[in-house]
Structure 1
Amino acid sequence: MNAIYLLTALTPILAILILLVVLRLPAQRALPLSLGLTALTAFAIWRMPALYIAASALEGLIISISILWILFGAVLLLNTLTAAGAVERIRAMFFAISPDQRVQAIIVAWLFGAFIEGAAGFGTPAAITAPLMVALGFPPLAAVVLALTANSSPVTFGALGTPLLIGMGRGLQVGEQLAPVVAQALPNASSAEIIQRVGEYAIQMDLGVGLFIPLIQVLLLTRFFGPNRSWKEGLAMWRFALFAGASFLLPAFLVAHWLGPEFPSLLGGLFGMLIVIPAAQRGFLLPKTTWQFPKHVSPPTTLPSSHSLLKAWLPYLFLTLLLVLTRLPALPFKSFLQSQALHFNNLLGTPISTSLELLYLPGTMFVATAVLSFALFRLPAATWGQLFGAAARRLVGSAIALGAALPMVRIFINSGVNALGLESMPVELAYQAARLMGTAWPLAAPAIGSLGSFLAGSATFSNMMFSLFQVSVAAEVNVPALIILALQALGANAGNMVCVLNVVAAASLVGLSGKEGAIIRLTLIPMLYYILWAGILGWSVTRLLF
């Protein structure tokens, strides 16, 4: 692949970074421009047929409806709970745990977010935790950055293990069987055994990587958003932050080892909260000085009995129950809801097909919970239309951004159909990286995983796209395939922090549409830490143990 084709393959990445991050254009302008550049270069240079470009764009538009439905449900639920006063009651609870907002950030974004990631995934944690943090008094930009940073390590086992079970499981197959290169690299191992071992390796390495994410959270908080712009005020939390990191990761590791990949994030987040919240209430490992934003308004100390803490949390408890029940394969709900999908086959006469699983999406669970909350809190019927209208209006900017981002991504991914005989753009970029790195491939493997999440919008799709490629490179350069697959999974986690779709979605939920570049500039810091340190650990493991 010559320099022109390399530059063409890099067009979506460079366009996003330059337009959003460097030139600081709002996503509503930057992403349509990126789409135009990607479509033009795909047609003129990559020689992708115009019909496939149009079908890919249409596929992206259909998928964007799924994301917008999730966002609509999240905004509607938040608006409903705010109007009912439940958010204020929850806010009071977190202040009762600790008035220190460094502690609140760790509990809400890291632990509660991990629990929600384990239940639902697909951007749901940021959709819940970022608005909740704004209600706690965090600046909207800080809330989004912290929510996205925390939504990293738990992603390995998100949505009841979907990134591994579905993403990597299908990514290693050709048809219904393991690909020949996988069977050769991992003889006598079934798909289930491979996924189990990859999950164990991933969480073991994450004990050295994700352990520091809560500390990075508070460092970002105090340095970029605090009144004193101080690293020191964040470092003062190092003992409690590491304690919180271990309180999630160690239970998650034990669950991954004994129960498999479905429940590590769900149970790890739950056990983490059960460990960390009582510790915070007792001041365990906390610095003596409480850290808050200036002019912080304290929550009311008393609220009406109709707004008891249990009642305020009931919608979230109901939401969690719905998410878990509709995602357990052993129950009939998942298959029934997925069977109601709208299928769009052979778009514009091409093999490109997609579907809309509106009833199965978390957005439906959000809307159902919001409707329940209308009745639970006895809101006046006149407010229903207002809340629905406000939720829809909030998403106008996001609809434009997502309506450009997803078509761009699908053109990028479907570009394997071309007149040049090249693979798709992301795979060709991965081949170039493999040729460059050679036996040092473990250092680069997480970056490939993060590339997939950054553009495809999901760790599941990243694992599906690159797992077979990662095994092929591992066999070529003679490094352990299981370690490389674990690094792929960790890299996919990291890409989640800067994923365009997650950034646009989270920004819209807290009224930051147009500030996506600022979000990415800040989340790039923990993302680069994550892939670099994961790569170093993976490389060290292959050198020392294999």
Structure 2
Amino acid sequence: MQWLHNYSALGDSLGLTAITVSIPIFYLFWALAVKRMKGHIAGLTTLLLTIVVVVVVYGMPVNVAISASVLGMLNGLFPIGWIILTAVFLYNLTVETGQFDIIKSSISSLSPDRRIQALLVAFCFSAFMEGVAGQGAPVAVAAAMLIGLGFPALPAAAICLVGNTPPVPFGPVGTPTIMMATVTELPNSIVGRAIGLDMTILALVIPIFMLVVVAGRKNVMGALPAALVAGISYAVTNHLVSQNFGPELPAIFSSFVSMICLVVFLKFWKPATIWRFPNDSDIAEDSTHRYSAGQIIKAWSPFIILMIVMGIWGTPAFKAWVAQELKWFITIPSWPGLDGIVYRAAPIVAVPSKYAASYRMDFFSAAGTAMLISAILSMVVLGLSPAAGVRVFKKTFNQLMYSLITLTAVLGVGFLANYSGMSYTLGLAFATYTGMFFPIFSPVIGYLGVFLTGSVTSSAALFGKLQQVTASHLGLNPLLTISANLFGAVIGKLISPQSIAVACAATGLVGRETDIFRLTVKYSIYLLLFVIVIILLQAWAFPNILPKIAAVMLTQYS
């Protein structure tokens, strides 16, 4: 049996089809923002609704729709759910052993000001985690750290979602940008240079925007020098690395430089007024204990170990060695009920082509496994017994159970949207009905792609070629819309149900996904408008700012 995509299934009308298949998206928005439904219930009901819609509208066979959903749910459990589980487990180990109190004290010793602490953890540290791990780990670890420092749960989640935006196209190890280069058949270095320009601009804005999220507009100026140091040092490093060394290293190098610069700056500068949350503990309480350098290093050792292990796991040489020598993986090269059945159609592809479906569980090379190994090594360093470690792991699993259900449901929706053709229908509708105003909507497509799939990489895979071909047909530089897709996708992570589920799990807000969504959606809209302005300036005011080679590439697709 073969089933061909039909992107204009209703009355041969692309617009009518797009509006109809958007129903699950509107439902999910309503469930989270208006109905304030628990995340796992909203996710599961959205998945069921999506199955009904694609079967009725597209005529997708029921068994094929279920198969696509199950494949997505399995991907939600591994590798993504595995990363979240092990990341929170590592954090919980530091709490169990009492080491997080020392970590909290060491950060507070740099500054008791909550704005500065947010910059250190949610911007600098989380960006490093994005560079080496990605897939939810940065938000999970950074949000848990802020909670441990005494941040209220809801602001902690929002702060981390906002702060973890500039490194995303380059983490882990450049994966989203490399995916975009792959689907558009352009060199990694060229795509990396284009999106690198956008992330350089975003890095200048996000630390200041974070201050607004943390403390409100009236309290920005007091910590502005620190935000400028963190943002400028990150932006300059990001620009130099992305323009000269490709997409693999910008997030790692930029975050490290930013953190060092901010720590050094804090040795010479302090905010005139210390800002704390209204019901915060007294500053004096945070400064009661003074720890030695050895105690501080020991307390930070789980995260030092994590950085080292993740750095090794992220190298191509290590991945190649694991694949060739260890071969610890389970692979299903042809996913039953899906592979060889679904075919993509024109204009997405020139001729109908098979939409392959497979599953591979690379257990040893997975970032979650690297985190587990880091946790085990940390147990040894911290002197925690295996029995105690097992107890903490069970506690962590119970803490995350409903969030894992939400993740599996959301990934099921994302995969079903891809295999049914729903994602392509929506992308084509944007391209068809916007014309020369496409640069305005180009980042919106990336934004929507991440809302659907929870992944910037998936958004690139979904809409990268569409962005490229549409730009060429309109006489625009394809690098403009390709980078716009990534730029918009980065902002989409603020409202992605997957990202929100991660933040809820890390901050103990399971069941309150709607509260985070209602808070972050307004921030995402502000930032999306900012992105659109930048893209319009690149399209009409400064077209030559994009890499020079782009003009040559354009002729290949005209």
Please give the TM-score of this superposition, normalised by the length of structure 2.
Answer: 0.87
Q: Tell me how far 1:207 sits from its aligned partner.
A: 3.2
Aligned to 1:296: 281
Greater shift after overlay, 342-351 or 487-496?
A: 342-351
Aligned to 2:205: 212
Tell me which of 503, 517, 522 is aligned to 1:506. 503
Residue identity matched to 2:192: G
- The 5-angstrom pairing of residues 389-400 of structure 1 reads 389-400=394-405
Aligned to 1:342: 330
Q: Distance in 1 between matches of 2:337 and 2:273?
A: 65
Residue identity matched to 2:452: L
Task: Determine if the alignment matches structure 1 residue 406 to structure 2 residue 396.
Answer: no
Q: Distance in 2 between matches of 1:13 and 1:426?
A: 11
Q: Distance in 2 between matches of 1:159 and 1:400?
A: 24
Q: Distance in 1 between matches of 2:27 and 2:118?
A: 32
Aligned to 2:220: 234
Q: Distance in 1 between matches of 2:325 and 2:105?
A: 37
Q: Deviations over 1:333-376 (max 9, x none)?
A: 45358942211243333203222222222221221122112211
Residue identity matched to 1:498: I
Task: Determine if the alignment matches structure 1 residue 28 to structure 2 residue 40.
Answer: yes
3-state SS, counterpart of residue 516 of structure 2: helix
Aligned to 2:29: 17
Give RMSD over aligned pairs: 2.0
Aligned to 1:516: 513
Distance 1:371 1:36, change over 3 A: same
Distance 1:335 1:169, change over 3 A: farther
The answer to whether the 8 Å contact 1:55/1:348 transfers is yes
The answer to whether the 8 Å contact 1:21/1:520 transfers is yes
Q: Tell me how far 1:129 sits from its aligned partner.
A: 0.4
Q: Distance in 2 between matches of 1:480 and 1:279?
A: 41
3-state SS, counterpart of residue 473 of structure 2: helix
Q: Tell me how far 1:49 sits from its aligned partner.
A: 1.2
Q: Tell me how far 1:539 sits from its aligned partner.
A: 1.5
Tell me which of 367, 377, 399 is aligned to 2:372. 367
Distance 1:334 1:157, change over 3 A: farther
Percent identity among equivalent residues?
27
- The 5-angstrom pairing of residues 389-538 of structure 1 reads 389-415=394-420, 424-538=421-535
Q: Tell me how far 1:387 sits from its aligned partner.
A: 0.7
Q: Tell me how far 1:19 sits from its aligned partner.
A: 0.3
Q: Distance in 2 between matches of 1:197 and 1:250?
A: 18
Q: Deviations over 1:477-528 (max 9, x none)?
A: 1111112111112112111222211111221122111111111222223322
3-state SS, counterpart of residue 498 of structure 1: coil
Task: Determine if the alignment matches structure 1 residue 8 to structure 2 residue 13.
Answer: no
The answer to whether the 8 Å contact 1:113/1:125 transfers is yes
- The 5-angstrom pairing of residues 217-366 of structure 1 reads 217-223=210-216, 231-283=217-269, 286=271, 288-293=272-277, 294-296=279-281, 298-299=285-286, 301-302=288-289, 308-331=295-318, 332-333=320-321, 335-336=323-324, 339-351=327-339, 352-366=357-371
The answer to whether the 8 Å contact 2:140/2:505 transfers is no
Q: Distance in 2 between matches of 1:32 and 1:163?
A: 27
3-state SS, counterpart of residue 262 of structure 1: coil
Q: Distance in 2 between matches of 1:338 and 1:412?
A: 35
Q: Distance in 2 between matches of 1:295 and 1:269?
A: 29
Q: Deviations over 1:206-231 (max 9, x none)?
A: 333332111221211224xxxxxxx3
The answer to whether the 8 Å contact 1:211/1:245 transfers is yes
Q: Distance in 2 between matches of 1:28 and 1:307?
A: 43
3-state SS, counterpart of residue 438 of structure 2: helix
Higher relative contact order (CA 8 A, sep 6+): 1
Distance 1:304 1:218, change over 3 A: closer
Q: Distance in 1 between matches of 2:86 and 2:134?
A: 15
Alignment length (residue pairs): 509
The answer to whether the 8 Å contact 2:229/2:261 transfers is no
Q: Deviations over 1:61-102 (max 9, x none)?
A: 211221221122112111111111221111111111111000
Residue identity matched to 1:343: T
Unaligned 5+ segments in structure 2 are 1-7, 340-356, 544-558
Distance 1:485 1:338, change over 3 A: farther
3-state SS, counterpart of residue 515 of structure 2: helix
Q: Distance in 1 between matches of 2:24 and 2:310?
A: 33
3-state SS, counterpart of residue 279 of structure 1: helix
Greater shift after overlay, 340-349 or 320-329?
A: 340-349
- The 5-angstrom pairing of residues 60-139 of structure 1 reads 60-66=72-78, 67-139=80-152
Greater shift after overlay, 131-140 or 321-330?
A: 321-330
Aligned to 1:142: 155
Please give the TM-score of this superposition, normalised by the length of structure 1.
Answer: 0.89
